[in-house]
Amino acid sequence: MAPLLVNLDQLIGSKRNVYHKGLQPGLSPDEIHALEEKYGITLPEDLKGLYQWHNGQRDDNYEAFVNNCTFVPLEHALDTAAELTSMIGSDFELPDMWHETWIPIFSNGGGDYICYDLAGSFDGQAGQLIEYWHADNDRNIIAGDLAGLLQALVNLYEVYDPSDEFMQVEDLPGYPLRHEIA
């Protein structure tokens, strides 16, 4: 995934320089390991690679990274995941409203996320990306893996239109896969 991230970094730097300056430096392997220990989790290599590239964006950078969502720093993502997981069985009464294996790596700032799915909820494919829109009764799988979403973002940058402030990646081939919650 490293070449993909290098390409994406170059495109963001050349097409959205101000936004690029608002991305935080990447985490070291030791910093990621410390967060894994703190939260009792083992992150997959592609997710580690994403956060070694950049640790999300600064709090004062409100521009979208992808699909009208900001790129959430890893500790904030893990903290949000822990908070939402603690709501299972109380605030989240229905099955599939939230899964303890979801990590919200992109956020629209209104309680909605694009989550990295560690376990493959719904179809067994670990690493897929799921939309968690808190007020909706569906949880759609929007990409089979992180590399697929990032490649679609690279493709978007290659034909970048500065008026697209939402950085909306259109449906990837075969996606979304729709899943209604009961």
Which residue blocks in 16-145 are alpha helix, DSSP H?
Answer: 17-21, 29-39, 45-53, 74-85
Predicted model pTM: 0.95
Q: How far apart are CA 35 and CA 51, in angstroms?
A: 12
Residue 178 placed within a domain: no
Residue 180 placed within a domain: no
Residue 67 placed within a domain: yes
* pLDDT higher than threshold 80 for residue 17: yes
Number of domains in the chain: 1
- The CATH number of the domain holding residue 69 is 3.40.1580.10
* pLDDT higher than threshold 90 for residue 164: no
| Mean pLDDT (whole number) for 167-182 | 89
Residue 121 placed within a domain: yes
Supply the range of the domain harboring residue 121: 2-158
Residue 28 placed within a domain: yes
Residue 172 placed within a domain: no
Each residue of 69-94: pLDDT tens digit?
A: 999 999 999 999 999 999 998 888 88
Q: Is 54 helix (H, G, I), strand (E, B) or coil?
A: strand
Angle between the N-to-C axes of helices 74-85 and 29-39, in degrees from 0 to 180, rounded to the nearest 10 = 10
Residue 136 placed within a domain: yes
